Structure 1
Amino acid sequence: MAKFRQVHTTFWQDPRVLEEMTPEDKYFYLYLLTNPNTTQIGVYQITKKQMAFDLGYSTESITSLLDRFINAHKVVRYNDSTREIAILNWGKYNLNKAGKPVIDCVKKELKEVKDKTLLWEVMNGIPNDSVVAEFSRHVYDTSTTRGQEEEKEEEEEKEEEQQQQENVYDFYQNNFGVLNPFITEKLSMWVVDVGIELVIESMKRALAQQKKFNYAEGILKRWSNENIKTLDDVKAADNQFGRKGSVRNGTTEAAEQFAKENGIPF
């Protein structure tokens, strides 16, 4: 279906266009109002590279023009991350009338906007109440923003967890020897079972007794059996044995038993 964009004749009588814009500015402005990426709502996605290609400019020239239109003329907004542009006075000439086909199109396009903050200033210039109502639903809907924030937090947590797990591997290599797939799998299993802090703590205790990694595994086995999950739990267990800060407690016996059961010299 063919798309048409209207440019009102009053465009040429606008004092801002007449007095403040250079011929190049007027050319660029008309392009922003009529290029194939434009939408019914006045917010659309377009890259600087595409603008440069369409107009025969360099990307540096486009960047300069956008800066002028954002900060000097104050008629557009551009999000460099989402590559979306908003024509702030779009609604004045393009959304003054709104039948069902227009409203349906507006609803569809509003859902596709990634940066919802761009809709705010466009909405302020829309004279039609029914269209403003549709914009409002999206401008004040923070669910998308919350979802993006939650997704970012999850990614950060995963990165932190991965970094901590790498710290376990580094600790082993720095103190016990070169990692191999068998040991890596063991460490990963213990991390899942009791957590990163306890795996490192068990290795520290093994080092304090000048023992090998199998000693640390004995400690981890005991902690797992007793559902010890945190360093506070470990301290409480140490205190229960009446030997604060001592490594030689029930963990030693568990380590010896683990080594014996698995035929490992202790």
Structure 2
Amino acid sequence: MAVYRPVHVSFWQDSFVLDLTPEEKYFYLYLMTNSKTSQSGIYELPLRIIETDTGYNRETVMKLLERFAEYGKINYNQKTKELFLINWLKFNPIKNVNIEKCVLKEIQSVKDQDFLADFYETCLQLEREQNFKIPRIKEYLSVRLEGLIRGFQDHSKEEEKEEEKEEEKEQQQEERASAEEVVEVNPISFYEQNFGFITPFIADGIHAWIDDLNAELVVKAMEIALEKNTRNMSYVNTILRDWHLKGFKTIVDVEVADKAFRTQRLAKAQQPTQAPYQQKGLSESTKNVIQQQESWEQNIPTDEELAALNQKSGWMVQ
């Protein structure tokens, strides 16, 4: 059965697309219309498949993926081989129950938890701005994200908070002591050992960042890139530009900001979660609605229904 991903005619006049190079326009269209795309905007796309489909070599593919990540249009996880089209839902709304069920089935197989958290945040934003009605998806994601948080709450909350505070104090003291001792790792050597051959252009860029920030932060940015399995200087530059704009000067600044960001995002993802409904004292009409909600998960379509729906419907992209 054929599956279509129509492109709206206004795509070519979009202000973002107008500024793209021909190569970038082609690649952007490919990311939105290739055979691995999904209705949720999150799908698995191995680099080998991109190379085969586009004819580009690995270096060009990585360069384009990094570029569109910097543009804020996609996120790509090399470890899980998953790609997230950030604005997909804005231009491909979930208009009815059947589509919602299809999207729900797709996101249940997503491996990258950060993608799901961002997807959930987008859903909440669209709900406020465009009267977006996706109760099944919201319920599933709120439970799944809450489960991630609950995994760290096996012990008493108060005891855990105290332990975390003590660990933070010790860590900050160690960081400050390290900074005072000025024990530096050579960023050039670190790059060669972990990223590979270094060109004069990359070396000049590293030295420039050392002058603007310091060697410790440059190495820290490289370590983060390695943790994300993204071994390229473009990603490192993106991290360092962000730190420079925020005025970070030490590793402590980075650690504190990172923890605050994660706490805020988890809190936002957890916010819509409500306690289970209590049947006592509810009207009959409310009980009926609750029963319908509890049966939603049982109505997820089969693969055959999903294929039939994809054949019948196409989604506008921009």
Give TM-score scaled by structure 1 length: 0.49
Rg larger for: 1
Give TM-score scaled by structure 2 length: 0.42
Could you say which structure has the greater relative contact order, defined with CA pairs below 8 angstroms and 6 or more residues apart?
A: 2
